[in-house]
Amino acid sequence: MKRAVSITLKIPDNTAYTALVALRRLGVDVDRIERSDIRFFEDHGDVPALQRRIQNDETIFNPNLHRIAVLDDPEPRSGEVWIVPENAEGSAIVAWRLFEANARPVDRAVLGAAVERLLCNPAIERAVIGGCDDRDNARASE
């Protein structure tokens, strides 16, 4: 079975903070942002073994810096967008999860605005939002 795994930082994430400040300046109503790497693995039905395997791979996981979560579904969660590079083969996908002031994930409209204004470069990336088709940045012109 193919599983999506989220690897996040335990330490403060300067990239996420910079994105938060930029989105606020661009008029996107967001209170907090989490950034993570999404990777896909075969787990053969044994989630604890998968977690141990990832934690033992020093090229993607450092126990002093990272925490790991195996996702229930291989798609973005509520309030989350996955930014997929044009040639994502074998590389991590960057996930951005945005939250409102009350710690709830933002709605699709706010997430879409964040994607269009900052989070996705449609020339080399595509945005994947849970519950809908993959899409490029709709406002981009080519």
DSSP secondary structure string, 103-141? SPBPPHHHHHHHIIIII--TTTEEEEETTS--B--TT--
- Dist. CA 22–CA 68, nearest whole Å: 27
Q: pLDDT value at position 91?
A: 75
Parse the chain into domains and list their residue ranges: 2-129
Amino acid at 116: E
Q: Model confidence over 19-77: pLDDT tens digits?
A: 999 999 999 999 999 999 999 998 888 999 999 999 999 999 999 999 999 999 999 99
Q: Model confidence over 102-119: pLDDT tens digits?
A: 999 999 999 999 999 999
- Dist. CA 25–CA 16, nearest whole Å: 14
Burial class (CB in 10 A: 0-12, 13-18, 19+), 123: exposed
| 88 Cβ contact partners less than 8 Å away, ≥ 6 residues apart | none
Q: pLDDT value at position 29?
A: 96
pLDDT exceeds cutoff 60 at 7? yes
Q: pLDDT value at position 88?
A: 67
